[in-house]
């Protein structure tokens, strides 16, 4: 009887962990679907159907041993320039789904503007593996030098780059820009994106029941953050705050001071997928380190940024302005 009771208690303690993880993943997917289904007419200015008139598309190029370690490269029609800027756009999907092909119209638009563009796949977390945000970020880091070399082999010399993305892809883009820019094969001169988690502190993740001073919340936080970081985090580490050192590797905002890359971002104040409170840490870090940045808040929007059309359009106009300013096309 005592053993059975202990088993029941253990089950009770593990429930909050998996509820939190499943809700997090499910909410991300719902958010991505809403973003895909709701497209205002002005978005046509920032996307286009791929055509050979734009340039050459090379697909499924391997950069590692993993099944999903592949990228697509978009090369502009004009191959006569001495140097080109590279824009890497990383796909969304809550770290568990999505594909580089989802962003083909964005990548085609970037290529049409004269940039070499690349979409990169990375290992997605499933019930059959332990892929973490840390692993995914390291795969992106490993891919980018190979993207640059492949472009050069095709006659497009890269001398600077922008890294960007949406949602989960935005997180991975920021991690690369702020954490890994010192090791990039060419200077990272700009980063942009929307609704990507920029930091992992339990007090900011209240939408998933984290940051509450009780055992259930600490257990849930330990479970969710262990999955994200790829490191075992205990409820005691949540309680004493020592977990933060294990989360730094994927908390992009914590690296801004080391690499103050010009940044344009957008977040929905009503986001129930990516905690809006976490984005405030990014904005504070950008401001404190005198970064050239624009931080757009959509007050009536969730993860899809669908309810503040005017601000959303302004965000994309600013993205294009910063691309022209820092990347150019000459």
DSSP-assigned states of every residue in 6-47: HHHHHHHHHHHHHHHHHHHHHHHHHHHHHHHH---GGGGGG-
Q: What is the pLDDT of residue 127?
A: 86
Residue 25 pLDDT class (50, 70, 90 cuts): low
CB 173 within 8 A of CB 193: yes
Indicate if the pLDDT at residue 328 is higher than 70. Answer: yes
Q: Where are the domains of the chain?
A: 26-202+233-326
Residue 26 pLDDT class (50, 70, 90 cuts): low
Q: What is the DSSP letter of 311?
A: H
Q: Looking at the DSSP assignment, which residues form a beta bridge with residue 248?
A: none
* Lowest-confidence region among 25-34, 54-63, 163-172, 298-307: 25-34
Indicate if the pLDDT at residue 13 is higher than 60. Answer: no
Residue 219 pLDDT class (50, 70, 90 cuts): very high
Q: How many Å apart are CA 326 and CA 293, to the nearest integer?
A: 12
pLDDT digit string (tens) for 298-320? 999 999 998 999 999 999 999 99
Indicate if the pLDDT at residue 3 is higher than 90. Answer: no
pLDDT digit string (tens) for 91-127? 999 999 999 999 999 999 999 999 999 999 999 999 8
The tokens 């994927």 sit on which residue?
A: 250
Collapsed DSSP state (helix, strand, coil) of residue 265: strand
Q: How many Å apart are CA 264 and CA 166, to the nearest integer?
A: 12
Q: What is the pLDDT of residue 22?
A: 52
Indicate if the pLDDT at residue 20 is higher than 80. Answer: no
Q: How many Å apart are CA 263 and CA 283, to the nearest integer?
A: 10
- Name which of 251, 244, 277 is nearest 198 in CA terms: 251
CB 140 within 8 A of CB 118: no
Residue 176 pLDDT class (50, 70, 90 cuts): very high
Length of the chain: 330
CATH number of 26-202+233-326: 3.20.20.140, 3.20.20.10, 3.30.43.10, 3.40.50.1820?
3.40.50.1820
- Name which of 117, 144, 122 is nearest 48 in CA terms: 117
Element (H, E) at 63: none
DSSP-assigned states of every residue in 143-192: HHHHHHHHHHHTT--EEEEEEEEETHHHHHHHIIIIISGGG-SS-EEEEE
Mean pLDDT of 9-32: 47
Collapsed DSSP state (helix, strand, coil) of residue 261: coil
User: Which phi and psi angles does 71 have, rounded to 5°?
Assistant: -140, 160
User: Which phi and psi angles does 187 have, rounded to 5°?
Assistant: -60, 135
Q: What is the pLDDT of residue 19?
A: 44
268, two tokens: 């929905």
Mean pLDDT of 19-48: 59
Which position has the higher pLDDT, 327 or 19? 327
Residue 39 pLDDT class (50, 70, 90 cuts): low
Mean pLDDT of 61-88: 97
CB 284 within 8 A of CB 296: no
Residue 133 pLDDT class (50, 70, 90 cuts): very high
Mean pLDDT computed over every residue of the chain: 90
Q: What is the pLDDT of residue 4?
A: 47
pLDDT digit string (tens) for 226-271? 999 999 999 999 999 999 999 999 999 999 988 899 999 999 999 9
Collapsed DSSP state (helix, strand, coil) of residue 266: strand
Could you give the angle at which helices 215-229 and 133-153 cross, rounded to 10 degrees? 20
């Amino acid at each position: 009887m005592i053993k059975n009771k202990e088993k029941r208690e253990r089950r009770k303690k593990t429930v909050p962990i998996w509820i939190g993880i499943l809700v997090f993943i499910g909410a991300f997917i719902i958010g991505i679907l809403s973003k895909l289904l709701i497209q205002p007419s002005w978005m046509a200015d920032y996307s286009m159907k791929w055509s050979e008139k734009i340039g050459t598309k090379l697909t499924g190029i391997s950069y590692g041993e993993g099944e999903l370690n592949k990228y697509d490269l978009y090369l502009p029609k004009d191959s006569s320039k001495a140097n080109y800027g590279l824009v890497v756009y990383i796909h969304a999907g809550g770290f568990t789904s999505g594909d580089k092909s989802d962003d083909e119209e964005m990548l085609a638009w970037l290529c049409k503007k004269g940039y070499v563009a690349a979409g990169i796949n990375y290992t997605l977390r499933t019930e059959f593996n332990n892929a973490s945000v840390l692993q995914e970020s390291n795969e992106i880091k490993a891919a980018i030098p190979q993207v640059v070399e492949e472009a050069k082999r095709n006659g497009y010399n890269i001398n600077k780059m922008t890294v960007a993305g949406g949602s989960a892809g935005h997180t991975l883009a920021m991690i690369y820009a702020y954490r890994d820019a010192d090791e990039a094969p060419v200077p990272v001169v700009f980063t942009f994106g929307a609704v990507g988690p920029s930091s992992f502190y339990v007090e900011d993740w209240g939408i998933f029941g984290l940051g509450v001073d009780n055992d259930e919340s600490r257990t849930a936080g330990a479970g969710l953050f262990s999955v994200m970081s790829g490191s075992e985090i205990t409820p005691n580490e949540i309680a004493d705050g020592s977990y933060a050192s294990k989360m730094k590797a994927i908390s992009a905002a914590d690296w801004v001071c080391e690499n103050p890359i010009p940044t344009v971002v957008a977040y929905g104040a009503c986001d129930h997928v990516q905690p809006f409170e976490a984005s405030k840490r990014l904005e504070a870090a950008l401001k404190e380190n005198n970064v050239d940045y624009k931080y757009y808040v959509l007050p009536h929007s969730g993860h899809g940024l669908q309810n503040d059309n005017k601000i959303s359009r302004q965000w994309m106009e600013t993205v294009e302005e910063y691309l022209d300013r820092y990347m150019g096309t000459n």
